[in-house]
Chain A
Amino acid sequence: MTTLPNLTQKKLGLVIDLDTCVGCHACVISCKGWNTENYGAPLSDQNAYGADNSGTFLNRVHSFEVQPTGDEAAAQLIHFPKSCLHCEDAPCVTVCPTGASYKREEDGIVLVNEQDCIGCGLCAWACPYGARELDQAEGVMKKCTLCVDRIYNENLEEVDRVPTCVRTCPSGARHFGDLGDENSDVSKLVAERGGMDLMPEQGTKPVNKYLPPRPKDALPEFDVLAPFLEPVAQEAKGFLGWLDKTLEKL
């Protein structure tokens, strides 16, 4: 049924640290690699080596420039990985006419049963985050599964039983856990760092949280010789001084 569960036993999700993400796209590649050969239909590419190439991805990294207001602080570049946020009030689930989209009662993961999907695209319309993409080869909707085929997979070593994007991230910017348990590592991290929701006004109640970039520190005066190297001449003299004054008058 595409009605949402009132309560899920767990709220499995990701915590993404915008302060430490370096924008290397390793999570994008490992996600495509794992998910194209495991759960459901492959993630197809169209015209992969041509001029007009495109393909299905479950995770994409945007980059934003933020210009701080007020002072003359330097602009900040923030890399911004974006995938399904496994919302508590997932609008993509309730619009589904076939029951293919569902939110799991046991752990809160939002999944698509591809055998039931008619590829109408309404769930992608309903998602404000662009987390769902209709695979052009298979005609069914693809989305992040939170690597449901890894996290419970006892054939894998325990260290690997996390979503592949988390396992791959070289800068430790991605964390996986139960956000419904306030004593879990991820919940503590969210509390400590002021984890935030994307587009809270859309009322989707995302499970995934984003940790905002930490404030930039100011560079202290660290060079002991600097005071002795202040410019000696404050006013230009000689020919350049004359030129400056003359040009000023023009």
Chain B
Amino acid sequence: MHPAPSVIIFTTFSGLGFGLLFWLGIDPTPPTGWVAFVFWLIAYAMAVGGLLSSTFHLGRPERFLKAFSQWRSSWLSREGIAAVTTLVAMGLYGLGLVFFGTAWQPLGWLGALGALATVFTTSMIYTQMKTIPRWNMNLTPAMFMSYALAGGALLKGNITMAIVLLAIAGVVQVFTWVMGDKAFENSGTTMATATGLGNIGSVRAFEPPHTGTNYLMREFIHVVGRKHSQKLRIIGVVIGIVVPVVLLLLPIGHWIALIAVASHIAGVLASRWLFFAEAEHVVGLYYGKR
């Protein structure tokens, strides 16, 4: 799949933002006043910024309101509804904390639930794709959820929770790669089933439909980015998981925390880039490519 920057930024930052909103929502002793304002500013900048970034890959972004209508069948529509519900609930909850110093707790719980739902529905947009075997497995939502919860805890400053969740996210990520590497073979889709010609003999793409490229090839066949995938996986886990955990185990200060957060974000961006670049769509088989 084409690793579009808009979608990588969207999944990374909205994951972090909604992760932070989850921890803010369930906090029994939430911050108030200026401290609350700064937390909410960070969370909304990431969550809303990520969502806005995702609109850049739309062909007709001005019609986005229509996307809230098909919640009965579409995970993208459900994601939109979950995101807006969360942002409204947590916005009101934050309003009470920042300006009135009171915690309207049910709004916080609703927002926390909504934040989880938003990350889950985002992950299901990818998980539902049978055409992309690497994504079409239960580990995909687990990976998105564990990253969001770990990143959120890190931003919130729940140090013990962040260490535990980062470790879990790291394990889930490694499993996702190991299982994902076998997914295409296990899916059973081959050039033989794609063309239906397998019972005659071995099938080879002889001539493509055209000499140039097309939308399908640009969107679904991305070979270049996979070249350094093993190195990038190591980089992703080291700077995304290992470095933040080690820093959190040190006597913590704000500056060290900032470095831990920056390192985590860079690591997640690298892993998320691979999530798209390594994903192979079955339509590539018609072009003799993957």
Contact = CB atoms under 8 A, between A and B. Distances in A.
Q: Does B bind A?
A: yes
Interface of A: 1-3, 18, 25, 28, 52-57, 60-69, 76-78, 80, 82, 91, 93-100, 116-122, 124-130, 133-136, 138-141, 196-203, 210, 212-213
Nearest to B76: A97
Contact of B59 (A54, A68, A118, A203): A118
A124 B69 contact: no
B197 interface: yes
Interface in B195-222: 195-197, 199-210, 212-216, 219-220
B204 A130 contact: no
Contacts of B216: 124, 130, 133
B85 interface: no
A132 to B, nearest CB: 9
Q: Which of the four size classes fits the interface of chain B?
A: 35 or more
Given A80-B195, A140-B60, A1 B72 contact: yes
A67 B201 contact: yes
A199 B132 CA distance: 13
B179 to A, nearest CB: 19
Nearest to A50: B212
B129 A125 contact: yes
B159 to A, nearest CB: 39
A119 B60 contact: yes
B197 A124 contact: no
B77 A118 contact: no
Contact of B66 (A118, A121, A197): A118
Nearest to A23: B207
Interface stretch (B143-151, B251-259, B280-288): B280-288
| Most chain A beta carbons < 10 A, residue from B80, B200, B214 | B200
Contacts of A136: 215
A213 B60 contact: no
B196 A125 contact: no
A94 to B, nearest CB: 4
| Most chain A beta carbons < 10 A, residue from B1, B63, B70, B287 | B70
Interface stretch (B12-20, B105-113, B186-194, B240-248): B186-194
A140 B66 CA distance: 14
B57 interface: yes
19 contacts: A53-B212, A56-B215, A62-B209, A64-B205, A66-B201, A78-B197, A94-B74, A95-B75, A95-B76, A118-B58, A118-B63, A119-B58, A124-B216, A125-B131, A139-B59, A197-B196, A199-B194, A201-B189, A212-B199
A128 B283 contact: yes
Given A80-B195, A124-B219, A210-B196, A60 B210 contact: yes
A97 B282 CA distance: 23
Contacts of A57: 209-210, 214
Contacts of A134: 59, 215, 219
B61 interface: yes
A125 to B, nearest CB: 6
Contacts of A124: 215-216, 219
Contacts of A198: 193-196
Given A82-B286, A133-B214, A198-B194, 8 more contacts: A25-B209, A53-B212, A62-B209, A94-B74, A97-B69, A97-B76, A122-B125, A201-B189
B207 A62 contact: yes
Contact of A99 (B57, B60, B70, B213): B70
Contacts of A200: 193
A122 B188 CA distance: 23
B224 to A, nearest CB: 16
A128 B131 contact: yes
Nearest to B67: A97
Contacts of A126: 128-131
A28 B209 contact: yes
Nearest to B125: A122
A47 to B, nearest CB: 9
A68 B76 CA distance: 44
Given A116-B63, A122-B76, A212 B209 contact: no
B223 to A, nearest CB: 17
Given A63-B206, A64-B197, A202 B125 contact: no
Nearest to B69: A99
Given A67-B202, A77-B206, A133 B215 contact: yes
Q: Which 8 A-B pairs have the closest CB atoms?
A: A119-B59, A139-B59, A60-B209, A130-B283, A98-B66, A63-B207, A68-B201, A97-B76
